[in-house]
Structure 1
Amino acid sequence: MTETSQGVNSVDIAVGILTFVARYDGQARAIDIANGCNLSKSRLHKYLISLCRTGMLSQNEKGIYSLGATLHQLSGNGSGESDPISKLNDVLTAFRDKFNYSTGVVVSTGEGLILKHYNRSFRNVDIDFLPNTPVPLHHSAAGQIFMGFTDHPQDDQHASLIAQIRLQGFAVRYQPTHGIPGAQSIACPLLDNKEKLIAIAVTMGFFCTEDIPQIAVQLMNTVGSLSR
């Protein structure tokens, strides 16, 4: 019998569960995990308990399972640090847990801006997004940040707004989009030590207009903690 055939089946199953959650952009429901990993709900439940207890997974109040702190620590690079986008998502998850606002990480790809990570709030009524949802450039706070902190061509119509965003360090989309009444978003940049844009931090939801400046400052302070 070869060494590879003498492995522990439960370890294989646990790794399969973690891999499945990672493929769902780090967040998945138990029913989806059970179906995707071909496990009964009762059998999966035992694995989820152990994986959450060891910090490999975490579960929020809505029953969504996410990759846990222990797994993020183990997946760090040789210096013991995780990549900046993962670190940004970690602090935005903590922001969500503290203030109960949905958060996300927007990145630029060859096909445009996408919402790479999304951390839903625990509110009964909020917005849900699928992984890798496209983000409109001209109708989003994240798009305004992208235009303000990159060499993206600017037209005269947006020049004054972009200048203001660069000065204040954040952008706000006040008007609803895609038929979501009252939904707003706030975004700020994550920059490297050469002031190059790495990713865009976003918080979104149904905000009171008078609360937006304070929320924006809280978001910028959260992102700024990564450089301290």
Structure 2
Amino acid sequence: MTETSQGVNSVDIAVSILTFVASQNGQARAIDIATGCGLSKSRLHKYLVSLCRTGMLRQNEKGLYSVGATALQLAESHTGERNAINELNSVLVTFRDNFNHSTGVVVVSDNGLMLKHYNRSFRNVDIDYLPNTLVPLHASAAGQVFMSFSGYQAQNQAQNELIEQIKSQGYAVRYNPTKGIPGAQSIACPLRNSKGELIAIAVTMGFFTKEAIPQIASQLLSSVASLHPQG
């Protein structure tokens, strides 16, 4: 018998459950996990209890399961060094769990701004994004933050005034709905290192009322401020 054939079946099942949840934008119902992993409801329940008890999964008030704090910590520690982007995403997962708003991490890639992480809210109706979605520079809150904190040169007076406003308040808001997502807004703020250089952009998005935006922005700023700048 080879070494690979002597594994523990229960570990394989637990990994398949975690992999399935991660593949569903990071959250799933028990019935969908059972179907996706080929498990009976009673057998799945035992795994879910253990995975939640160890922090590999967590269950919210609506019964949905998402990746837990232990799993996120393991994912972030694979290099043995602090990873600011993963740490920011952990903070935004907590923000999502506390306030039930979708969140994401936008980074600068070779192709432009890219949504690297996306954490969907637990609302029945919300916005969904695919991994590595490109983010428009001029039609997004993340793009406004990038222009304000990256050394970008304003193209006109109106843009310059917008940049100065964002620098002053510390965050940007996209009030106008994106094409295909009527009524949706987004709020973004920067994560910078100790030199003031932009590392990544924290974003929360959803169907916000205009009156609620200042409070949500304040909560987002406080969450990001809990991280210690690097470099």
CA pair 178-5 structure 1, distance change in 2 beyond 3 A: same
CA pair 120-74 structure 1, distance change in 2 beyond 3 A: closer
Task: Assess if the C-alpha contact under 8 Å between 1:25 and 1:116 holds in 2.
Answer: no
1:1-228 to 2 correspondences below 5 Å? 1-22=1-22, 26-28=26-28, 37=37, 39-42=38-41, 43-61=43-61, 63-77=63-77, 83-156=83-156, 157-227=158-228
Distance in 1 between residues matched to 2:67 and 2:7, nearest whole Å = 24
- Cα distance per residue 1:11-53 (max 9 Å; x no partner): 123223334444556445556655665x235354443332222
Give the length in aligned residue pairs.
Answer: 227
**What TM-score comes out, normalization by structure 2 length?**
0.82
CA pair 2-180 structure 1, distance change in 2 beyond 3 A: closer
Q: Which letter does structure 1 place at the counterpart of 2:48? A: L
Distance in 2 between residues matched to 1:61 and 1:117, nearest whole Å = 23
Distance in 1 between residues matched to 2:119 and 2:62, nearest whole Å = 11
- Cα distance per residue 1:137-194 (max 9 Å; x no partner): 1111011011111134531152221122122211011111123332211110011122
SS at match of 2:173: strand
* Structure 2: runs of 5 or more not aligned: none
Task: Assess if the C-alpha contact under 8 Å between 1:93 and 1:103 holds in 2.
Answer: yes
What RMSD in Å do the two structures reach over aligned CA positions?
2.8
Distance in 1 between residues matched to 2:31 and 2:152, nearest whole Å = 42
Structure 1 stretch displaced more, 26-35 or 205-214: 26-35
Task: Assess if the C-alpha contact under 8 Å between 1:24 and 1:131 holds in 2.
Answer: no
SS at match of 1:70: helix
- Cα distance per residue 1:45-101 (max 9 Å; x no partner): 443332222211123345543221112233443897752222212222222232232
State the percentage of identical aligned residues.
Answer: 68
CA pair 123-72 structure 1, distance change in 2 beyond 3 A: closer
SS at match of 2:217: helix
Q: Which letter does structure 1 place at the counterpart of 2:99? A: F
Distance in 2 between residues matched to 1:77 and 1:169, nearest whole Å = 30
Task: Assess if the C-alpha contact under 8 Å between 1:102 and 1:205 holds in 2.
Answer: yes
SS at match of 1:89: helix
Q: Which letter does structure 2 place at the counterpart of 1:17? A: I
SS at match of 2:220: helix
**What TM-score comes out, normalization by structure 1 length?**
0.83
Distance in 2 between residues matched to 1:158 and 1:41, nearest whole Å = 57
